[in-house]
Structure 1
Amino acid sequence: MTIPTPLTGVVPPVCTPLTPEGEVDVVSLLRLVDHLLEGGVHGLFVLGTTSEAAYLTDAQRRLVVETVTAHVSGQVPVLAGAIDMTTPRVLEQVASVTAAGADAVVVISPFYTRTHPAEIARHYRLVAAASPVPVVAYDLPVAVHTKLPADVVLELAAEGVLAGLKDSSGDLAAFREVIAGARDRADITGFSVLTGSELIVDSALAAGADGAVPGLANVDPHGYVRLDRLCRVGDWERARVEQERLCALFGMVRVGDPARMGGSSSALGAFKAALYLRGVIACPLTAEPQVPLSEGEVERVGKYLAGAGLL
């Protein structure tokens, strides 16, 4: 399907359920997609950070996209990450995920080598020229060690190179600069500005963002869809209450012991443990070499779910 311009609403970055052997659990993935669709989400983003795309083989990535796009069958747009180190490798990923049915691709800046903003812009222009579907930029400096400059994003949006931005930078000033530029510049139309934060969706929408890509929406899609709806009708007090409930639920990402695992292992493990406890997926395994949550840590995730009225 053609993605809306701009794309709005809640677009969860879909977790990738795994079997105990570390393979993609297709049955659980389909159940998760149904869980999200029943929650009223406005799109799906597969093969992002929350999807553990960096840990999946190319064959597993292709399987995820094929499974989700076939199952969704045009009900909502499916965006797929084309995550790799350099332009030629990204182009291979673009070819793979679009052949598998993705409606748009989400692309980060080159990484491993340091790149100049002019080289980042060239990267996106080359990807867009080769991509049969719209390209959304993914600003993720924690992974690529390069902040995607607001002026570069706006320049590429004006050229029609980029259809949107998923901002996971944590730089709220630069995020607002993109929002204002996309709103005020006559040469930018239909450009989607999406926050990747679970914690400031109400603030982002109040500032003019088009939507959100919150990993926690895997666990509570109804909550984020409700939050989005409250913001769009201007019921800011009830939106604040809902956002604060979701912020409290997000505390689950810190259940993992930092003495034995990284923050990503803790967060992704918590999301998967929550989905497991809610009966959505069959196994809470995260991909190697991430450290799994302990039984006690999974129990703590359950307490967060109970506190949020989800268990």
Structure 2
Amino acid sequence: MSPTVPPAGVIPPVCTPLTPDGAVDTSSLVRLVDHLTDAGVDGLFVLGSTSEAAFLTDAQRRTVVETVTRHVAGRVPVLAGVIDMTTPRVLDHVRAVLAAGADAVVATAPFYARTHPAEIDRHFRLLSREAGAPVIAYDLPVSVHTKLSAGTVLALAADGAVAGLKDSSGDLGTLREIIMAAPPGFAVLTGSEVAVDAALLMGATGVVPGLGNVDPDGYVRLVRHCAEGRWAEARAEQDRLAALYGLVHVGASTRMGRGSSALGAFKAALRLRGVIDHATLAEPQIPLSDEEVARVARHLAAAGLL
């Protein structure tokens, strides 16, 4: 993917399979990549939230990028997250993932220390100057505790400092504002699993759905229906996927966080479908119980996937 060709279509945020002792399970990762590319996805996003990037060591991050880029061998673009607290740390990740073969980088605003909008703007411009590859801004306020404003994104887009936006904010009003005013060729990717049809109708260029690991074919069909203007079929497919998305809630909130529940469900589903060998989560996340895994299986069966 050249700096002038932003991503579009279905770009799943790839789960990171782990062995029972917590190492990256590269054999399962390769099978997962094949599972996704065989479904016809348009790109892959590694080292995002669904990839458990926050829990991986730098060595594990590099293993993920190298494994995926080597196996894909240019068939689809690979976007790599470079998420970290401060600009110098993010720049280190930028160099590492590009050296490992990534085609573009995906970065949040800095976090931990409070930042001013001018500092966020400076952060992305420094990344763009260093990368020499497309930079996708990642709006993830639930984790970063900073909401990227439409003004910030549009100013960066106008100057070519960012090639696109991955929006996981859930703020459809700001998303529409960005879509309406963005320059031609600017990629707008929704991170929603359940409002893809709405985002594409507004003019978004693609989707980055965590549930796309489990059912990539469904999201490929959904995006195709939208592209062809078959909105009734799109809504039916989106409704099916929204029901399937209920599997993220199987984990009991009395003993685990939502992240453990959602990522545990994605990995359990992939194991049940025979794609990966283990549903291991990175520490200190809590694994699903046998009963919770059985509930995941019922969701898969209801969606025609098991």
CA–CA separation in structure 2 for the residues paired with 1:258 and 1:26: 31
1:19-34 equivalences under 5 Å are: 19-34=19-34
Find the counterpart in structure 2 of residue 180 from structure 1.
180
Find the counterpart in structure 2 of residue 185 from structure 1.
none
Find the counterpart in structure 2 of residue 96 from structure 1.
96
Matched to 2:209, the amino acid is P
Using the TM superposition, give the Cα deviation of residue 7 of structure 1 relative to its aligned residue in structure 2, in angstroms: 1.8
Q: Count the aligned residue pairs.
A: 306
Find the counterpart in structure 2 of residue 189 from structure 1.
184
Matched to 2:99, the amino acid is A
Matched to 1:148, the amino acid is L
User: What do you get for the CA RMSD once the two structures are aligned?
Assistant: 0.8
The counterpart of 2:252, out of the listed 253, 257, 263, is: 257
Alignment of 1:110 onto 2:110: yes
Find the counterpart in structure 2 of residue 237 from structure 1.
232
Structure 2 contact 3–132 (Cα < 8 Å) conserved:
no
Q: Identity of paired residues, percent?
A: 67
TM-score (normalizing by structure 2): 0.99
Find the counterpart in structure 2 of residue 12 from structure 1.
12
SS of the aligned residue for 2:48 comes to: coil
SS of the aligned residue for 2:165 comes to: strand
Find the counterpart in structure 2 of residue 166 from structure 1.
166
Using the TM superposition, give the Cα deviation of residue 59 of structure 1 relative to its aligned residue in structure 2, in angstroms: 0.1
Structure 1 contact 65–102 (Cα < 8 Å) conserved:
yes
CA–CA separation in structure 1 for the residues paired with 2:134 and 2:3: 8
SS of the aligned residue for 1:18 comes to: coil
Note the alpha carbon deviations across 1:231-279, whole angstroms, 9 max, x for none.
Answer: 0000000100000000000000000000000001000000000000000
Note the alpha carbon deviations across 1:70-122, whole angstroms, 9 max, x for none.
Answer: 00001000000001100000000000000000000000000001111111000
Structure 1 ranges of 4+ moved more than 6 A: none
Find the counterpart in structure 1 of residue 119 from structure 2.
119
Stretches of structure 1 lacking an aligned partner (at least 5 in a row)? 183-187
Structure 2 contact 6–134 (Cα < 8 Å) conserved:
no
Structure 1 contact 32–281 (Cα < 8 Å) conserved:
yes
Structure 1 contact 98–132 (Cα < 8 Å) conserved:
no
Alignment of 1:47 onto 2:47: yes
Matched to 1:242, the amino acid is E
Stretches of structure 2 lacking an aligned partner (at least 5 in a row)? none
CA–CA separation in structure 2 for the residues paired with 1:214 and 1:144: 19
Note the alpha carbon deviations across 1:116-164, whole angstroms, 9 max, x for none.
Answer: 1111000000111101211000000011101001111000000000000
SS of the aligned residue for 1:124 comes to: helix
Greater Cα shift, 5-14 or 272-281: 5-14
Matched to 1:16, the amino acid is T
SS of the aligned residue for 1:110 comes to: coil
1:266-281 equivalences under 5 Å are: 266-281=261-276
Matched to 1:298, the amino acid is V
Alignment of 1:152 onto 2:189: no
Matched to 1:225, the amino acid is V
In structure 2, the CA distance between the partners of 1:4 and 1:273, relative to structure 1 (3 Å rule), is: farther
Find the counterpart in structure 2 of residue 60 from structure 1.
60
Matched to 2:264, the amino acid is G
Matched to 2:81, the amino acid is G
CA–CA separation in structure 2 for the residues paired with 1:263 and 1:81: 21
Using the TM superposition, give the Cα deviation of residue 3 of structure 1 relative to its aligned residue in structure 2, in angstroms: 6.3
CA–CA separation in structure 1 for the residues paired with 2:128 and 2:250: 40
Structure 1 contact 8–211 (Cα < 8 Å) conserved:
yes
Find the counterpart in structure 2 of residue 290 from structure 1.
285
Using the TM superposition, give the Cα deviation of residue 4 of structure 1 relative to its aligned residue in structure 2, in angstroms: 6.6
Greater Cα shift, 125-134 or 8-17: 125-134
Note the alpha carbon deviations across 1:179-238, whole angstroms, 9 max, x for none.
Answer: 1111xxxxx232100000000000000000000000000000000000000000000001
Find the counterpart in structure 2 of residue 303 from structure 1.
298
